[in-house]
Structure 1
Amino acid sequence: MRTTSPLLHGMRATETITPPHTAAELAALLELLRAQRPRIGTVTIGHSRDAVSAAAAAAFADAWEGEILAVVDWPEEAASWLRPARRFTAGHPDAWVVAGIPLGWAQMSRRLRHSTGWRPTRTFGFASVTRSAALAGPGTLRGLRGAAFDGGTWEIGPGLITFFPPRTGRGPSPDDRAVTAYGPYGDRFRGAGATEAWAPGRGRR
């Protein structure tokens, strides 16, 4: 068992408001989970305690047709995040669904990787959680996937996040992908398809 603390010390939540989720975002998230094989039957939902994250989690719970094992929330600041981490991983769901403010989810995910059997490759998030990638540190969220505000999708990789535009009749094209690098150099978008990735009206960089 690891003995060093996984938590980010000396940091306080400064980004405490996230834009409300959109109908297109929720629909894309549901479609993403339904498309998984083996089929996802049970989920655990996790969210920050702010009203926007709680509303996103509730909307997903109302729309999900499978079984929900638990709905777990966590604070933005805590001594260890160990109690919510254990509740989040109890019951061994097929997948986890997350909505949250960046720093709180970064702290929670670091605790999950350090102290539980949680796997980001079985986790799906609302658009807000992409902002946690750099804070959480290298590899912590690698493999986590989710939906963007415009109904597109994204996947966190090693030092980058790849965004895919909403599905169209012609199908996806490699030229449609947009990649943002995260880490010490901040967020940098390149390629097409980055519009509306984080918030409505943000546009391409």
Structure 2
Amino acid sequence: MSRDGHLIAIEGANEVGKTTLAHCLAESFLERGESCRVFAFPGNDAGTLGSLVKRIHENPPSFDVQDIEPTSLQLLHVAAHIDAIEGRIRPLLKEGTNIILDRFWWSTLVYGRVSGIDKGVLEEMIDLEQKYWDGIFPEKVFLIDREVPLNSDADRDSWDQIRNEYLNFAESDEHSYPVEIISNDASVEEVVERLRSSVDSVLGRARST
């Protein structure tokens, strides 16, 4: 009987290098002959609700929408997350496929707080999403951090606020799974090696030479 796949989540503010690192980490599974998929939240795969929500988020006017109220926007993201969990992530894990997540439900919390969503409403959103994660726990969540965003044109005030929210949450005691903060201020090769070593350690497997 095949075992379930492993779930690793990579979180952090925009422009910290999450996507690059997620794909590099996936390569380490593939190099061992293990199946692995990378999923981004809300989503990049064509024909999915996540991809649609991403496009609406990035360019509302192209869908004849001028403005999206923050609570409504975050609910769209939660719907996309649930769709991915039930439609693809849970079945693939059951088949033994390892999954690297480019964002986790943490993004619902952090971006919801920063956008000023009512605390009680935000908690209900997170409770709803976590119901669909029922029985699925990441082996580890990596919070990728940098002193400055990779894109020098990023709004630093907003970026710093999001970064600090992530750091505060990662350092809290609200987690039932291992959490590690990874600085992405070194070379990609160095950071990927640290990620690989940490994953090998948590999965209890020997490093390949």
Could you tell me the TM-score, scaled by structure 1's length? 0.37
Greater strand proportion: 1
Q: Which has the higher contact order (CA 8 A, sep 6+)?
A: 2
State which structure, 1 or 2, has the greater radius of gyration over its C-alpha atoms.
2
TM-score, reference length from structure 2: 0.36
